[in-house]
Every structure is written in C-alpha cells, then in structure tokens.
Amino acid sequence: MAAKSPANSTPRRPVSSLSARKLKDNAADWHNLMMKWEKLNDSGFTTANKIVNMKIGEQFQDNELEIACDSSATESEKPAPKYNEELDNCCAELLETLKRMTKIQLKMEKLTSTTKAICDLETFHYGAGNCTTPFFHTWPTPYFYEVSLKLSKMYKEELQLKQTIVQEIAHSADQDLMMVYLSSWLYQPYIENSSKLLLESMLLETGHRQC
C-alpha cells in the first residue's frame, strides 16, 4: 500500500511500518558498530606497537648479551630468556581487544541476517521482484541486504587477519614481519575504502543524514 506523496517524489510505503523501522535502526546500529570497531582498532594498534617495541628492545639486549658473553659458551651456559611481565600484560590486552572486536563482528552478522529476514518477508508478501515501492527514497529492500552483506564480509575477513596477528605478533623475531603485522592492523586491508560510502549512503537513505 503506497502512501500519498508529493507529485514529484518517489512513491513510498508508510515509514512507520515495522520493517522500515527495523531497517532504519539497523543503519544506526551499523554506524555505531563501525565507530566502536575503529576505536578498538586504534587502541589495539597502540598495544601492538608496544609489543613490537618490547620485542625489538629484547632482541637488542640479547644481541648485546651475546657479544658480552664468552663466545665459546655452550647453549646450556647461555642465560635463559627472562619473563617479561609487561609484554605478557600487553598480549593479554591485545587479546581482550580482539575479543571485543569479535563481538562486534558477530553483531554485524546478526544485522545482516535480520535484513535478510526482512527481504524474505517482503518476498513472501509480494512475490519475488514484485514489490517496486521502496521503504524510504530509492533503495529496493534487497539492496539493504546487499550492502549489509558486503560490509559484514569485509569485517569478517579483517577479523581473521587480526586473529592471526594477535596469535603471532609476540612470537616473531623478524622485524620486517612485525612491521607488516603493525601495518596490517593499522590499515585494515580487508575493510575497503567503499565501506564509508556504503554506510553514509545507508544513513542518507534511511533519513539519519539529511541531504
């Protein structure tokens, strides 16, 4: 049932319908989740940077110690590596950040499946491809799902990368590899630049942003 609308604008269904409200709420949730993710990314980078600096510091000390020790010392005579409490704390902190990011990514998947459910409901009511009246301005309902799916996939892949980084960063001795871990964490290669545009478009479509 299309609501009355001004002659020049696209005919719309009543925005107060539950599905439209849910889509609007989802758009707001996407925004909030992506902002939280960015904050965690920043704090995670600070922690990862500390870990790498400590590892490099340890390597430097070990090298100096090796030079100072008698070169004929056997493996058993060489001093054992010391437990680094600060390093351990940073690793725990990074792991905690990852856990929080994992929760966010799961919520993103939930948003995507809710959007899919709304599309399925629409198909049930109108038949596939028969409903041409958008809830808001121009987006057909399946497009909301397409955007959610794209975003969800980006964050899922990014999370997999971050999981590997968290597992490996404190165990690497290769400085180039540690630098690549840091860079990968910071620049989030699997979250494409288009994600910001997709989010803003969704917010504009659902009326959270004004033209």
Q: Give the residues lining the site for another protein (CB under 8 A).
A: 160-161, 164, 167-168, 174-177, 179-184, 187-190, 193
CB of 180 to another protein, least distance (A): 5
CB of 52 to another protein, least distance (A): 11
Residue 52: closest CA among 187, 200, 180: 180
Residue with smaller CB distance to another protein, 128 or 177:
177
CB of 50 to another protein, least distance (A): 16
Is the Cβ–Cβ distance between 205 and 136 less than 8 Å? yes
Where would I find the H helices in the chain? 18-68, 85-126, 141-168, 175-187, 194-205
* Contacts with 30 (C-beta within 8 Å, 6 or more apart), sequence order: 108, 111, 148, 151, 199, 202
Residue with smaller CB distance to another protein, 42 or 168:
168
62: which 2 tokens?
């070990």
CA-angle at 208, arms to 205 and 211, nearest 5°? 65
Is the Cβ–Cβ distance between 133 and 13 less than 8 Å? yes
Residue with smaller CB distance to another protein, 145 or 181:
181
Residue with smaller CB distance to another protein, 11 or 189:
189
CB of 190 to another protein, least distance (A): 7
CB of 161 to another protein, least distance (A): 6
Residue with smaller CB distance to another protein, 94 or 111:
94
